[in-house]
Structure 1
């Protein structure tokens, strides 16, 4: 499928969502829309594998027969289904019974079958609890199939679902929907819903262009970036993972077998479910990732609170786009927390450094971390200054990247990327001022591929360029009281144009001569007409 077709598929699905959501707000309808797209992906992937497994025994239905071929095979071979499902669990890692496949659900919708809602609910329960080796409890918990927003009473709700699912099925039929295409469509819809959600979008979506910068950085060799991309990362961690797009971007850089384990945490229950669906929908097997629902700042995850250093998890790469300047309530006990006790607690008014220290604590000694933060972390005083100073003195801040304003759905402020390492070789800090390199948009600014490549390449080769990048010694940073404001180290003032006075004088003389000649001709015309000349 071409890029144009992918965009057209996304636009088609967005049009369906916009047309059919009715009185339902965009965030609620998003969950229905994305869940149905997820079911379609799981079904397609499963049926393709089943066809390969059954070979010539896979039923070939006549044109116009809309039954799921697997449903026909189950009916014809009742004694063989258990063994078949065991094989599918080994090879595909999950099972979906025929009644719950997208084709079966879509056929109920086309025929306005009154059992659609009940069947769909049973199907969701089955996928959560029985399909996979690891259970995905609550995966569809935010989708209320009995919501009055769908209609009052079962018949109205069932009819509405029939209409929505039929529209999605018809829309998808026009396109070749392989797994990569559906994954792209899912990401496109998340982006579209994020755009419509305004500030709330910051809770679940990092624009792909910014994800590409972070993934480009953390997939390079951490100690010698100039040697190129690593072949494999054992693990990558995003402690505020939203819908998982940032983690998937890292995986995309390294290929489907480039990461041993993908780990994420998300506080918002709806977004947590989106992330789990997003992983599966992009072909990440259930045993290859772990997304946990919980509060990062209170370290609401037993695995991460392991006190034995030998057992405490550590990651090759940490990426994050946490909520900017998030208000939190640090307790007295947190001051002794292993994540913060050597640095101090971030202020109540802004948890930015609390998020940073959380991720940094779980970074391997040879790992690399890239985190998106507001510019305030570079220069604010008080406890933030003390945390920043210690990180710098300990040699942990590797690179500071300033990005253009208005790149996010959630805020128009410019943000920065901090790159941190526990063991970094250069005894300086690289500053990159990318704030003026973007394409202006109506509602948002955009980074083009060349802008992204320039940032990643500058980091990779630690190169310097006038008004763009500069390597600053620790002595100079200390002389600035450990203030990392980018404008202190890279001049952002535009150089005044040098004026050649002789050239300007020559041009004025020529212009004056041309004016006099034109005035003379004009006066001759006036004389012929019997009119007085111009002064």
Structure 2
């Protein structure tokens, strides 16, 4: 009888493993330890499962089995196996052994776990003094190994089948850490419903190249890829590209891609604005069918001083203000779109829609070039670390007209305890409205270029979508009649109360 795999049990078991660290170090620190151990446990289970399968098939023929294992997606040196580490958990030196295991794993797998001189586990050390003195550290890591050795975390393919339980557990953990880390969450996490919405709006197709220049943990990129596979019988005929400035977050993205089986990807480490890494063989910016991102809102110190001499010509429409990098990311993304098929979705704060000065001039140019396709206002409190409402801007390289669709989806949400979320119904309504492309009373408006010019290129949504609800007219005569009736009833009640009091001997 096949064992029933329960995703919630796996998620809760992994989240429960965090108790090992709670009270010792902050969640923002132990996040990397938990996610890395989950990664190591998974690949160890896959490797062991496949090894056992070959052993059952070919018997006691270690040389043949070793040869067969060379065709695996990855190489797992014996000292890098979770099970080797687990067997030695009572010995001193757990931290050093785990670090050595990770280093050997990187060396054995080449570019899969590296980007030039940068390796996935470079910023992660289990042999850290942050876990306390040697004896305490060794005990904590023993407990951690024992947590991941629980039967609930048997992630072998023979048990979990084709279910993406490991990828789901990884995404679950990233979401939980984001919910608990406040402001820092925006560095690596886009809420899954927002990623779903962006993927639906951009409608990726077979063969598309898809890029996120501020990719965080890679969830938005993978949602776009998954959309292609869902529509095409599981075919993964697409390519994912990304760049991430923060080293530890880049590591998350690389592990996330690996765990989801996204082998056709290229995730670079570095500052997209100051040092774009996704370049063609001539050293020019690569071009993509889809470019999508949730870049940091109004980033200070984004690279203003170097923008005037940008060799890629990204700021020919103007240089964004020194303390607000929103348009720096937008202009970079525009320049990486393919001339005909290119389409783009970017999450921005509302200030991008109406701020003046250099941003106003850039916005005017983008509109005059007929690149802007839609402006979609989102509800407040969707994103971790900020309660402000955001908007999605959709750009297209080849449009059939010069209109811009405005959608006010600010009331499309399901209220949560601390965060609002987009329900599947909310997403479906937004996507259907965008695809239909017409006016919807108090929800969407298709504005002409002439109207936008008359509004001085201000894209503030209330200028186009009238959501005003008239208050019901008050009938003053009816209100007066109701007041007189209440006065009469009050007089009658007071008379009756006086009668009862007199009967009880409390009369005047």
TM-score, normalised to structure 1, is 0.83
Q: Does 1:11 align with 2:7?
A: no
Q: Deviations over 1:437-463 (max 9, x none)?
A: 223333222222222222222112224
Q: Is the 8 A contact 1:339 1:358 kept in 2?
A: no
Task: Give how far 1:196 is off.
Answer: 2.2
- Describe how 1:5-44 pairs up with structure 2 within 5 A: 5-44=6-45
Q: Which of 393, 400, 404 is the equivalent residue of 1:418?
A: 393
1:67 corresponding residue in structure 2: none
Partner of 1:69: none
For 2:269, the equivalent position in structure 1 comes to: 293
Going from structure 1 to structure 2, the CA distance change for 1:20 and 1:177 (only over 3 Å counts) comes to farther
Is residue 430 from structure 1 mapped to residue 405 from structure 2 by the alignment? yes
| CA distance in structure 1 between the aligned counterparts of 2:327 and 2:237, rounded to whole angstroms | 27
Q: Residues 190-223 of structure 1, C-alpha deviation per residue, up to 9 Å, x if partnerless?
A: 112222221111111111121111111112xxxx
Q: Tell me, which stretches of 5 or more residues in structure 2 are unaligned?
A: none
Corresponding position of 2:179: 195
In structure 1, the residue corresponding to 2:392 is in which secondary structure? strand
Q: CA deviation at 1:527?
A: 6.8
Structure 1's 431 and 442: CA in aligned 2 closer, same or farther, altered over 3 A?
Answer: same
Matching residue of 1:158: 138
Residue matched to 1:264:
242
Please provide the CA RMSD for this pair.
3.0
Aligned to 1:214: 198
Deviates more, 1:267-276 or 1:298-307: 298-307
Map of 1:126 onto structure 2: 104
Aligned position for 1:356:
330
Q: Distance in 2 between matches of 1:389 and 1:464?
A: 23
1:323 and 2:323 correspond: no
Q: Is the 8 A contact 2:13 2:153 kept in 1?
A: no
Relative to structure 1, the CA distance from residue 202 to residue 426 in structure 2 (aligned partners, 3 Å threshold; closer, same or farther) is same
Q: Which runs of 5+ in 1 are unaligned?
A: 59-75, 220-229
CA distance in 2 between partners of 1:497 and 1:342 (Å): 52
| Counterpart position of 1:146 | 127
Whole-Å Cα distance in 2 between the matches of residues 134 and 4 of structure 1?
A: 29
The answer to whether 1:314 aligns with 2:287 is: yes
The separation in 2 between residues aligned to 1:512 and 1:115, in whole angstroms, is: 84
Name whichever of 25-34 and 289-298 sits farther off: 25-34
Q: Secondary structure at the match of 2:238?
A: strand
Q: Does structure 1 conserve the Cα–Cα contact (< 8 Å) formed by 2:278 and 2:286?
A: no
Q: Distance between the aligned counterparts of 1:525 and 1:27, measured in 2?
A: 69
Q: Which of residues 244, 251, 258 is equivalent to 1:280?
A: 258
Alpha-carbon distance between aligned partners in 2 of 1:45 and 1:495, rounded to the nearest angstrom: 62
Residues of 1 paired with 2:287 and 2:437: CA distance? 26
Shift of the alpha carbon at 1:385?
0.6
Q: 2:350 aligns with which of 368, 375, 400?
A: 375
Distance of 1:369 and 1:245 partners within structure 2: 17
For 2:367, the equivalent position in structure 1 comes to: 392
1:84-136 Cα distance to aligned partner (Å, 9 max, x none): 233xx2xx322223443333333333xx1346445433331232121367452
- The answer (yes or no) to whether the contact 2:315–2:331 under 8 Å persists in 1 is no
CA deviation after TM superposition for structure 1 residue 515, in Å: 5.3
1:177, distance to aligned residue in structure 2 (A): 5.4
Q: Would you say the 8 A contact 1:335–1:345 is kept in 2? A: no
* Secondary structure of the structure 2 residue equivalent to 1:84: helix
**Counterpart check, 1:246 vs 2:226:** no
Match of 1:483 in 2: 458
When residues 412 and 171 of structure 1 are mapped into structure 2, their CA distance, relative to the original with a 3 A threshold, is farther
Q: Is the 8 A contact 1:264 1:291 kept in 2?
A: yes
SS across alignment from 1:436? coil
In structure 1, how many angstroms separate the alpha carbons of the residues matched to 2:151 and 2:103? 26
Q: Deviations over 1:320-354 (max 9, x none)?
A: 01111112232366455434243111111111111
Change in CA separation of 1:335 and 1:388 when aligned onto 2, cut-off 3 Å: farther
- Say whether residues 1:343 and 2:343 are aligned partners: no
What residue number does 1:456 align with? 431
Number of residue equivalences = 494
Contact kept? 1:235, 1:261, Cα under 8 Å = yes
Q: Could you state the TM-score of these two structures normalised by the residue count of structure 2?
A: 0.87
